[in-house]
Amino acid sequence: MSKVAIIGGTGLTSLQNLEISGREIMHTPYGEPSSTLVRGTLGNNDVLFLPRHGSGHTITPHRINYRANLWALKEAGAEMIIAINAVGGIQPEYQPGCLVIPDQIIDYTWGRNNTFFEEGDNPVVHVDFTWPYCETLRQSLLQAASQAGVDVIKQGTYGATQGPRLETAAEINKLEADGCNTVGMTGMPEAVLARELEVCYASVGVVANTAAGRHEGEITMEEIEQHLAEGMKNVRTLLEHVIPLL
């Protein structure tokens, strides 16, 4: 049974070098996941793969069924989840194409189903979320990056916004004042749902663009796609090196 799962974000709807052994349609108490779960091997290691936005990248960030996705991965046997997230870089060092392994997150989303503990007669549960990412998995990612010669920024604070629109320049100024280094739309409630399920969860952020107001002109999808293509090459290398460590 695969213990390691990969959630692919924008730019990673499939995994190169993944030898697929099967696909599994999952039904959950929370509805349908974004896609069928893919089982396979990556470098002779069993993994699960789920594209967060669906196989055709058709599900917007605020409409993703995060609870179904996380529940399905847990039910399929995942004990560790590596989430790939496209993000915008706020500070100058967070340049397009680079990788970030965040250690903190600030949630600016609203109206999303963000807990498993809200229905029925179950007692109220308050999970500790001081450190939102699994440090053991974070360190494995950093070790793999060092072994693979992949440059990564070793920490940072991810600002999770609602989407699907990009942010205004003033909103980015606010996020920076709050301490955010990157901004994205899919980091929450994914991280806290994994914590509620007691699944070790960490993120690899791929900087797809400089955040609003941080460069001249508009942010275009062509620009984002170009930088994601560059960053995803390093993501694939990183995954191939970290999976054996786990």
Domain containing residue 159: CATH number? 3.40.50.1580
Average pLDDT over residues 12-28: 75
Please tell me whether 186 is known to bind a ligand. yes
pLDDT value for 121: 62
Q: For residue range 200-238, what is the model confidence (pLDDT) as tens digits? A: 999 999 999 999 998 777 888 888 888 888 888 899 899
Please tell me whether 122 is known to bind a ligand. no
Q: For residue range 100-131, what is the model confidence (pLDDT) as tens digits? A: 999 999 999 999 999 998 876 677 789 999 99
Range of the domain at 175: 4-245
Q: Does 244 sit behind a cis peptide bond, omega within 30 degrees of 0 on the bond before it? A: no
pLDDT value for 17: 67
pLDDT value for 143: 97
Please tell me whether 145 is known to bind a ligand. no
Please tell me whether 10 is known to bind a ligand. yes
Q: Is the predicted pLDDT of residue 199 greater than 90, yes or no?
A: yes
Please tell me whether 210 is known to bind a ligand. yes
Please tell me whether 41 is known to bind a ligand. no
pTM attached to this predicted model: 0.92
pLDDT value for 9: 65
Please tell me whether 44 is known to bind a ligand. no
Cα separation, 194 vs 32, in Å, equals 17
Cα separation, 68 vs 96, in Å, equals 31
Please tell me whether 53 is known to bind a ligand. yes
Query: Over the range 33-52, which residues count as b (16 or more CB within 10 Å of their CB) and which as e?
Result: bbbbbbbbebeebebbbbbb
117 is written with which tokens? Answer: 């503990």
| Structural domains counted in the chain | 1
